[in-house]
Chain A
Amino acid sequence: MLGMGNKLRMKKKWIEILSIFFSYVFTFWLLISMIFILLRLSPGDPALKYLSPQLNSHLYDYVKNSYGLDKPVVEQYYLFIYNLFRGDFGISYNYRVPVSSMIMETAPFTISFSLVSFIIQVAISMWVIFYVHKHKGNWLEKSLNKISLFLYSLPTMTIGLVLIYIFSIQLGLFPLSDVHSTNYDELNFFQKLFDLVKHLTLPLITLSLPGIIIFYNYLHGNIEATERKSFIRFMIANGFDKNIVFKKHVIPNSISPLISILGTELGILLGGAVITETLFGLPGLGRLTVSAILTRDYPLIIGCVFFSGVFVLAANFLADLYKLKHDVQLRENFKNL
């Protein structure tokens, strides 16, 4: 009888997971289709560079045909979906290489760059939270409360430009662009490390600053709410060490809701990476996307969106699964559906 109950519960759980999964697949299909349609509707011509008085006018038509742009849009869409299922993103119009290889070339940088930024965001915001909690009411807490909204509202582009102006142009402390020096290959391990740190300091600050503020504000609010809860008051009133209560009870109870915003935060992070990479001339997916959009390189745009979409939706999916496991209210809601 008990076994039957377990099986039923497992079955329900799988149905819940599958329903979430399929809602993501649908969102993903919608995203890709919208991008495809919007690209075809938007003005601009991918074969424009072949329109030149110094080139033969037939070349433009041949190139356009070879891109498949002479076919009806419905047929183009069918081919696009068919190729997508085969894992074929096509050939980049500009670079004349498979889109997948372009993405494989640039995505590792963007992923590691975003990951390092994410770690920095979490680490610094946690440190600040601990510090502020230890020294409640000090200048840092007061000033952070006042300027956090201002820093949060600053666009990534503005942060980057201000940092470049102060630290690169005026003080000359950091390079203006690139991920490393031109003689990087000839450097020893320490020199390479220093070179990377020197080049990536400003981009990482630019990308991480808004995230630090988000995490700080969110955690700060959660911590204050948790600290007001009766079980925490009860523990402190019974003489438990304040620091232990804070580390073992307040923090874990405050972090849990944070997981739900991580998926969204990853999307923000990727959006920020696009701007940061373009601003600092970094060789990532963001810069590639911008360049593809400006030149109407349709296969490359779709490839970049596909990759970013998978990344963001996968993070959201994992966050949803986490919530499903830990959020009782959400689980109850699912059961009642």
Chain B
Amino acid sequence: MKVILNKLLSICLILVICLSCNKEDKSNLVVIGLENEIQTLNPLYTMSEVEANISELLFLGLVGHDWDYGKGEPTSFPVLASSIEWENDSSSVLISLRNDVKWENGKDLTVDDVIFSFDLYSDKSVQSRFYGTFYNFYLNKDLSIDLKKTFEIINSHKFRINFLPNRNTSYYDFDYPILPKYLFEKVHRNNLASSDTISITSGTGPYKIKEWKKNQYVKLIATSNSIYSSPTQIKELVFKIVPDYTSRLYQLKNNDIDLTEFIKPEDVENLASLGRFILKQRTGREYDYLGLRAYGAESNSSAKTRLFDSPKIRKAISLAINRESIVQEHLRNKGSLMSNPVAPIFSSVLNKDVIPLPFNLNEAKLILNSEGWNDSNNDGFLDKNGITFSFTLSFPSGNPLREYTAIRIQNNLKAAGIKVELQSLEPNVFFEKMFNKQFEAWLAGWSIPVPLNLKPYWHSDPKLAPGNISSYKNKRVDEILNTLDLRLSNNVRNNLIKEFQKIISEDQPVVFLFWIDNSVAINSRLRNVKVTPLATIQKCWEWEIN
């Protein structure tokens, strides 16, 4: 009897404990599921887009940006600045700071903080991600900003930025999170990367770090003294790291996560049918391409490695690949065919006459034949001067889209008489080899920077264009890209970009495969989440919970 009573009591106790475990109260909390770990939130070192977006919630910049769908370009608005006045020739800008912005220690945000921040961002010893990117500024030999020439202090809240003459300047030139000088100056510049200053302070943003568990989550809590702080603002944002996609998806379905990006096309319809999620597409920021190494004038390459030197051959390969079927079958139309690296979202500069090459196997074969490639030994593959048209296509492992695309390309090109060997490599190894130009053909993708910047990808000078892996070279393209750095009228600029698109489409330096949409799933309890080409996690202070 005693034993039975004891057992009953134990069961009751367990039941009480279980019942006392209420469901999570999420009335003022939003959980965002992330695939990759957040390594830093220090604006000096944020490398990924997500890290940069979160750090912008902590540290505001002088300006913010929005996407103008009508014009097809970003628009800017002042944030920490109260007014921004450009000189007529855009060679300088007069900026007044808001006088209601205060740091955690109660002191005002001043011009000193702004100049100090720019100095840090451009300092070689800091090794910030922005180092060496101040192209429109007066610079010292070590590429740090020449503060004397660049900044003209009018008073503690007003200053002028002088740019190099005749440059294409914009709001993006001074769009950097502003850091508190009083805190950052205490840390030696060489040690800023390993300093925990960011974790212990709040910036000018509407959120501050509450808790950060590496490899697990970052919790942000609303601040009350930011210019964007408001009573309706969501109190807590949790950025939860869930590397496994399936786990992320089920947590989303289970309401453990409220928002997550990169939903696989095959899951989009299913999520939408549940009625609890809003599915939004972030288009035109990423594309995949088939890289073909053109050796051009390089003398150390054999005839075998010069397969892709001719634009006609590259065009034939483009024609032989059925890209549309990949977009339909694997991406389920959550993407679109492309003709060149200028995304359709940039509608103001889009050359509508340049259209994607169609899938046309016969034309591809004709071009290859006209270039001297024939199946002379009837082995099913084209050859020329005793060399078979064959190459190895490398791609990073763990990416189902690229694995699928590689197999499709192999099959498509086999039909055209081209032999393709596939090589899957671990991503770190793959990208190391890719940047060292060790592949003859590879599958990869690029993210498109906003504002549009084509030079780092298509200029022939490797120092100016580390992204030109295929060693593409075209004199006119170089001229256009160099001219685009200068101050031009909108009309001239737009025409130049349109000309660029025409040339690049004809030259096919790589086979432009498709634009990939980023599908974002948002729990319908969340309102005001704007998914624009700029970002998904942006202006979180405007989000609301139903």
Contact = CB atoms under 8 A, between A and B. Distances in A.
Interface of A: 43-45, 48-49, 51-59, 62-63, 66, 91, 94-98, 102, 105-106, 164, 168-169, 172, 175-179, 181-183, 186-188, 190-191, 193-195, 278-279, 281, 283, 287-288, 291, 294-296
A52 B466 contact: yes
Nearest to B38: A95
Given A56-B131, A98-B194, A175-B256, A287 B456 contact: no
Contact of B466 (A51, A102, A296): A51
Contact of B194 (A43, A62, A97): A97
A190 B465 contact: no
Contacts of B240: 178, 182
B39 A96 contact: yes
29 contacts: A44-B426, A51-B431, A53-B446, A53-B465, A53-B466, A53-B467, A55-B131, A55-B466, A57-B132, A91-B194, A95-B40, A97-B194, A98-B194, A169-B250, A176-B254, A177-B247, A177-B251, A178-B216, A178-B240, A182-B24, A182-B31, A190-B21, A191-B21, A279-B244, A281-B247, A283-B214, A287-B215, A288-B215, A294-B428
B81 interface: no
A95 B39 contact: yes
Given A53-B465, A97-B196, 15 more contacts: A43-B429, A45-B428, A52-B466, A53-B457, A95-B39, A95-B40, A95-B214, A98-B194, A176-B254, A177-B251, A179-B216, A191-B20, A194-B20, A195-B21, A281-B247
A59 B129 contact: yes
A66 B429 CA distance: 21
Query: Interface centre among A55, A94, A188, A295, by most B CB within 10 Å?
Result: A55
A157 to B, nearest CB: 12
B37 interface: yes
A97 B39 CA distance: 10
Nearest to A43: B429
B116 interface: no
A190 B240 CA distance: 24
Contacts of A66: 127
B242 interface: yes
Nearest to A179: B216
A96 B51 CA distance: 14
A194 B25 CA distance: 16
A201 to B, nearest CB: 13
Contacts of B131: 55-56, 58-59, 62
Contacts of B251: 176-177
Contact of A48 (B124, B129, B432): B432
A182 B211 CA distance: 11
The 7 closest A-B CB pairs, nearest first, are A56-B132, A53-B467, A53-B456, A44-B428, A96-B193, A45-B432, A43-B429
A187 B17 CA distance: 12
Contacts of A43: 428-429, 432-433
A126 to B, nearest CB: 22
Contacts of B40: 95-96
Interface residues of B, number: 60
Contact of B217 (A182, A190, A278): A182
B545 interface: no
A175 B242 CA distance: 12
A63 B24 CA distance: 43
A48 B21 contact: no
Given A105-B214, A281-B242, A62 B21 contact: no
Nearest to B210: A185
A102 B196 CA distance: 13
A91 B250 CA distance: 36
Contact of B24 (A102, A179, A183): A183
B449 interface: yes
B435 interface: yes
B214 A48 contact: no
A279 B465 CA distance: 39
Nearest to B216: A283
B143 interface: yes
B86 interface: no
Contacts of A281: 216, 241-244, 247
Contacts of B17: 190-191, 193-194
B29 interface: yes
A51 B29 contact: no
Contacts of A175: 256
Contacts of A49: 47
A176 B124 contact: no
A52 B433 CA distance: 13
Given A59-B129, A168-B250, A291 B432 contact: no
Given A48-B431, A53-B446, A96-B45, A176 B250 contact: yes
B184 to A, nearest CB: 15
Contacts of A106: 214-215
A62 B215 CA distance: 27
Contacts of B18: 194
Interface string B169-197: 00000000000000000000000011010
A287 B428 CA distance: 18
B133 interface: yes
Contact of B21 (A45, A102, A194): A194
B247 A183 contact: no
Contacts of A48: 428, 431-432, 435
Nearest to A296: B428
Contact of A56 (B31, B45, B133): B133
B446 A177 contact: no
B478 to A, nearest CB: 16
Contacts of B457: 53
Given A43-B429, A48-B428, A194-B17, A56 B29 contact: no
Contacts of B193: 96
A51 B469 CA distance: 12
B327 interface: no
Given A49-B47, A182-B31, A281-B247, A59 B432 contact: no
A182 B29 contact: yes
Contacts of A105: 214
